[in-house]
A = this chain, B = another copy of it.
């Protein structure tokens, strides 16, 4: 096997090989403290081994390492290699997840009071970024895929109208692909936005692997976006919280990005996470397309099997179910559902877990499975066995009448371009709020963000008028087990509204 070139990891191993005596933080001293106080066991056994092992390279800013907030040595080199690998002009390694990249981009683009055009169904970290920036957002309603009912991105026409209507907008922010691996080719959006001389930013958290193989969709970087945030940990090989922010062109101020990132990331960033980003990139550089061959093949074989067996569980990205030229589907993401409408996605999720197959997330209808590069034939066999069991034993015992209510996601009224919503902190904090039953909340202004999780897309923003449609969506999601992070009533039978 060829060696890989991973400068951060190599710097950490080199430091370790010098038999250093630690009189610095962290206090575990390369894991010695854990090994001393907890009996270590061998890998594969339960014990405390996984942590004491990683701690060997869990160091701080030393003259032998580097400083993420002011990189000059191995981190600077790792960022240069990452930019080359992902097709960007400059790449920032992130230790605070895509969250930190999204927040930093909002802070970079927007001063208080500035306005930005934002896809409505963005990840909550972008809304948090708007709040911290004190910006206002013009939201563009997403399009809904007619076949699946899932939200994608706004239309090109909508974006053009918004760009015309708001010439002072500081840029455009999209979140795509969605959690279900549905992607809209972005090049026309980028070109349109650049025609108005504004930056086009993409939260591509679920697409870190895009453009890495001809069978995978095109990444936003190759579509020309000015800045792209990717969760390297989600679909590539980094540790959780390891992400990257890629920048290209001249519309983004690199020094400003670095400054904003230092506002929202730890001043003691994790070297193991940085090293895992570095190694993830290094493996791609060495393996290239080959890294994805097996997973793509196994996913394709699985889909064929699913269709040939005519199970009641199918994949919306199945081979015959859907071909839509407007959308790209991530072949490494399976979106399973019960075509008879008897099993909810949440229920199907639980049934898969019973057999030791752990999906990524589920909603009223769908369960999402991520197929990652180290997937094996045995893994797919266990998934097939589980689906056969569910098909044969669970589904057979259900009523023949569909029991799953699928939210009817209507296209937005009018042109889908909202009035600007001010996201400065404190906008409603001083207002008096009252708790009312959800079913009686129509027409009120919500005093809380209502965010079913996953996928973490807000149904209501604080200060937003509550519609009947929103009430129905919330009720349905709550009834099938979605979690509402930070809700005043975790069961969402009531809601906090602004008392006027």
A residues at B contact (CB < 8 Å): 1, 4, 9, 13, 16-29, 32-39, 43, 46, 48-51, 53-60, 62-63, 67, 69-70, 95-100, 103, 107, 111-112, 123-125, 128, 131-134, 209, 231, 233-241, 255, 258-259, 262-273, 275-276, 279, 283, 287, 291, 334, 350, 352-353, 356-361, 369-375, 379, 382-383, 424-426, 429-430, 453, 456, 483, 485-486, 490
Contacts and interface: CB of A to CB of B under 8 A. Distances in A.
A374 B29 contact: yes
Contact of A283 (B38, B259, B276): B38
Contact of A24 (B54, B124, B273, B358): B358
A124 to B, nearest CB: 7
A264 to B, nearest CB: 6
A231 to B, nearest CB: 7
A123 B271 contact: no
Contact of A133 (B69, B264, B425): B425
A70 B112 contact: no
A21 B279 contact: no
B239 A51 contact: yes
A486 B26 contact: no
Given A96-B96, A272-B50, A485-B70, A267 B21 contact: no
A196 B50 CA distance: 49
A23 B239 contact: no
A279 B47 CA distance: 12
Nearest to A44: B56
Q: How many copies does the complex hold?
A: 2
A100 B63 CA distance: 25
A67 to B, nearest CB: 7
A240 B270 contact: yes
Contacts of A95: 241
Contact of A270 (B43, B209, B239, B291): B239
A374 B33 contact: yes
Contact of A112 (B38, B49, B134, B241): B134
B128 A271 contact: no
Contacts of A29: 372, 374-375
Contacts of A48: 9, 279
24 contacts: A20-B358, A21-B379, A24-B370, A27-B373, A33-B372, A36-B373, A43-B53, A49-B53, A50-B54, A51-B54, A51-B279, A55-B239, A60-B240, A67-B453, A67-B483, A70-B486, A95-B241, A98-B266, A99-B266, A99-B268, A134-B424, A234-B268, A240-B271, A259-B486
Contacts of A55: 50, 239
A425 to B, nearest CB: 6
Contacts of A24: 358-361, 369-370
A267 B359 contact: no
A21 B358 contact: yes
A221 to B, nearest CB: 18
4 tightest A-B CB contacts, nearest first: A97-B266, A54-B54, A23-B369, A111-B426
A240 B25 CA distance: 8
B266 A429 contact: no
Contacts of A287: 37
Contacts of A23: 334, 352, 357-360, 369-371, 379, 383
Given A33-B372, A241-B269, A265-B99, A358 B22 contact: yes
Contacts of A426: 111-112, 134
A233 to B, nearest CB: 4
Contacts of A272: 50-51, 54, 239-240
A200 to B, nearest CB: 22
A260 to B, nearest CB: 10
Contacts of A486: 69-70, 255, 258-259, 262
B239 A25 contact: no
A383 B237 contact: no
